[in-house]
Homo-oligomer: A and B are copies of this chain.
């Protein structure tokens, strides 16, 4: 599942948790985080700690893959910027 922001991440992890048949309390215990924090993560809070996110991902039996987007040689933001320019 391709993720580009915290909302995506939170929604995806909630979906995986439910598919695993776990409650927030269950997953929180497995990942050794608080249920309060997990609720924030699933709600898409952007300021949660990366280290805790990795723990949740691991506890759900998932892994993260990161690689270049199949875009032109120039930087993505420069490319999008050039698309966005007014004539």
Contacts and interface: CB of A to CB of B under 8 A. Distances in A.
Interface of A: 1-6, 9, 12, 16, 20, 30, 46-54, 57-69, 71, 75-77
Copies of this chain assembled into the complex: 2
| Interface of chain A, main secondary structure | mixed
A63 B30 contact: no
Contact of A58 (B59, B60, B76): B76
A48 B50 CA distance: 6
Contact of A49 (B1, B50, B69, B77): B50
Contacts of A12: 66
A5 to B, nearest CB: 6
Contacts of A66: 1, 3, 9, 12, 57, 62-65
